[in-house]
Each structure stands twice: as C-alpha cells, then as structure tokens.
C-alpha cells in the first residue's frame, strides 16, 4: 500500500478516534479475501490474537455480530443462547455488504451501517491485545479486548465449539 492508502481512515478507525480509544493499525498487501490464519502468518502475529467478525440472523429477523478467533468455528447454539434467540444462522456472503456496509474479508465489528448486538468470544477476555479487521481488506486494528467491548457495547461469552 502506498503511504496515501495507509492514511485513509475507515469507519472503524474513526469510531475509535472519536471515543479516544488507543489502537494501532497494521496493513498488508492483499487484493481479495484472505483467511485470518493466513493474515496472521503474513503479519507475523500469533493466530490466537486474530479475531474474525461473523454476522448472523436470528429467528426473530434481527442481526447479531459475533467476534471469534480466526481458527475457530462459531457454535450456533451457544451464539443463539448468548443473544436470547431460539436460533441464529450465518448470513449469506452476498448479504454482508447490504447488512453491514462492509465486504467479505473487511468486515469489522466497529462502524457497521447499524449497531447490532455484539458478542466477543470469552477467549479474548484474558488477552492484552487482539487484532480485528480494520474495515477494509488489507487493514487490521490492534486494540485491547476490553476497549472493543466498551466501544461496541458488546459482552464476552462462550460462543465457539469446544470451549467451556
């Protein structure tokens, strides 16, 4: 990326700036969707710090956002229970932009078109820092998990397979 590209703020970054939340941005060369494990390797960061943003639709028709480690899978039953729904299903890839304003691979839990109920997997609670999408492909935000919770109004909960 050119210096000019690195200076472009995303909605996610502007929200963090407005809330005076400390964060840093890392960028990498990428033109299309790349999975989070590959991004962690590219950045030289442990994959345990990398979190992906997943958007679901509940039985009620409401949308919910879940933030989980990149190498893990969302447990849909736990996720539904966490947000008080009978069930939740992943939204289709083609609907990501319509619902969030982001594209696949650049979806951040910050700065979506609307605020949705957000749950961050409890594995992040013990971390000093976590890495989330910066709001566009090729951009990641590093911040404290408790700051993400504060800015999004999210909560921590057990929402991945195999976690107790």
Residue 118 confidence (pLDDT): 98
Q: Is the pLDDT of residue 33 over 80?
A: no
| Per-residue pLDDT tens over the stretch 89-99 | 999 999 999 99
Q: Is the pLDDT of residue 4 over 50?
A: no
| Per-residue pLDDT tens over the stretch 45-61 | 899 999 999 999 999 99
Domains annotated on the chain, with CATH: 3-157 (3.90.960.10)
pLDDT, average across residues 116-130: 97
Q: Across-strand partners of 144? A: none
φ/ψ of 135, rounded to 5, equals 105, 5
The secondary structure element, H or E, covering residue 144 is: none
Provide the pLDDT confidence category of residue 3 given band limits of 50, 70 and 90: very low
Whether this model's pTM surpasses 0.75: yes
Task: Yes or no: say if 83 and 139 are a contact pair by the CB < 8 Å rule.
Answer: no
Count Cα atoms within 13 angstroms, Cβ side, for 57: 9
Provide the pLDDT confidence category of residue 164 given band limits of 50, 70 and 90: low
Q: Is the pLDDT of residue 5 over 50?
A: no
| Per-residue pLDDT tens over the stretch 129-151 | 999 999 988 889 999 999 999 99
């Amino acid at each position: 990326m050119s210096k000019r590209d690195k200076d472009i703020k995303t909605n996610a970054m502007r929200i963090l700036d407005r809330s005076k939340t400390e964060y840093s941005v890392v960028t990498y060369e990428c033109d299309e969707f790349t999975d989070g494990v590959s991004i962690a390797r590219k950045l030289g960061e442990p994959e345990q710090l990398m979190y992906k943003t997943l958007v679901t639709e509940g039985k009620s028709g409401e949308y919910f956002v879940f933030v989980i480690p990149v190498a893990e899978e969302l447990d849909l039953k736990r996720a539904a229970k966490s947000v008080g729904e009978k069930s939740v299903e992943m939204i289709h890839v083609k609907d990501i932009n319509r619902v969030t304003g982001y594209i696949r691979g650049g979806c951040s839990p910050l700065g979506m078109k609307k605020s949705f109920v957000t749950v961050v997997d409890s594995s992040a609670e013990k971390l000093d820092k976590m890495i989330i999408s910066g709001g566009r492909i090729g951009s990641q935000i590093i911040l404290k998990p408790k700051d993400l919770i504060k800015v999004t109004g999210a909560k921590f909960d057990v929402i991945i397979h195999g976690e107790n």
